[in-house]
Amino acid sequence: MPLARVSRPLGRLLTAGLLVTLGVALPLLAPGGTDFDRIQAAAVQRWGDGVMIRFNAWRHLVQSVSTASDLDRIRHVNYFFNRQTRFAEDPVVWNQADYWATPMETLGRGAGDCEDFAIAKYFTLLETGVAPEKLRLIYVLARIGVSDATLSQAHMVLAYYPQPDAEPLVMDNLIEDIRPASRRPDLVPIFSFSREGIFTGSSGRESRPAVSNARLSRWENLLQRVKAEGFD
């Protein structure tokens, strides 16, 4: 995917609302309404009984934080995937140049790249009851190495917005801390997306999609596979 050249830091761009939000609609089940048995059956059928340890840990996570505050939810979910999942590139895990894994695929393999970490956290937080409008997956350019490094690579993180115009908190597989966007000057945003639709504007309050969902076909395909797993 081509990457646009962006020079402003992540915090200012996000809070100014200058990112484009991409995505498609996906029904969200209320906490406690998830059919865990269906998801488990599909996971075991594909990955075998070996997936059960990670699946049960994930299920316990979702259920245990469903009545917690949003801040506790994002803290526990971020920690869970950063510790439970081994980082590996798509050619190693999936024998493909670029593959977006579902949460159960990431649990099944026990490994994934930055996109898989962010996607797994996103859907898990939705399952715990975090409002969908508070979450966005964000493609960024991440500076590598020292703070003044000029070498950057494509990367994905998950952002949580306490309010539509608030500075987001960034969940990242590269570091354990969840930091405000202004404290991540090493990340330069390219675009963002969620299940809420494709939006432009300054606040994220728009109610109508501005661009066809087909503009991000890999995301649309992922949503279909997530639904097939039982997240419906």
User: Confidence band (pLDDT; 50, 70, 90) for 207?
Assistant: very low
Does the pLDDT value for residue 14 go beyond 60? no
Tell me, what CATH number does 14's domain have?
3.10.620.30
- The answer to whether 24 and 225 have CB atoms below 8 angstroms apart is no
**pLDDT band at residue 22 using 50, 70 and 90 as cut-offs:** very low
**CA end-to-end distance (rounded Å), the chain:** 29
Given a cut of 50, is residue 141 above it in pLDDT?
yes
Question: Mean of the pLDDT values across residues 141-146?
Answer: 79
Please give the backbone phi and psi of residue 29, each rounded to the nearest 5 degrees, phi first: -80, 145
For residue 15, name the pLDDT band (cuts at 50, 70, 90): very low
Residues forming beta bridges with residue 137, ordered by sequence position: 158, 193
Query: Is the residue at 34 inside a domain?
Result: yes
4 part of a folded domain:
no
Between residues 93 and 17, the one the model is more confident about: 93
Question: How many structural domains are present in the chain?
Answer: 1
Q: How many CB atoms lie within 10 A of CB 63?
A: 15
Are 53 and 61 a contacting pair, CB within 8 Å? no
* Amino acid at site 167: E
Strand-pair category, 135-143 with 111-112: unpaired
Domain-located, residue 105: yes
What is the sign of the dihedral through the CA atoms of 87, 93, 97 and 102?
A: negative
Q: Which domain holds residue 168?
A: 10-229
Q: Is 5 a member of any domain?
A: no
- For residue 173, being part of any structural domain is answered with yes
Is 2 inside any structural domain?
Answer: no
Q: Is residue 69 part of a domain?
A: yes
Judge whether 91 lies within some domain: yes
The first and second tokens of residue 208, run together, are 């109508």
Burial grade of 60 (CB within 10 A; 0-12, 13-18, 19 or more)? exposed
Residue range 62-115, pLDDT digits in tens = 999 999 999 999 999 999 999 999 999 999 999 999 999 999 999 999 999 999
- Bridge partner list, 86: 111
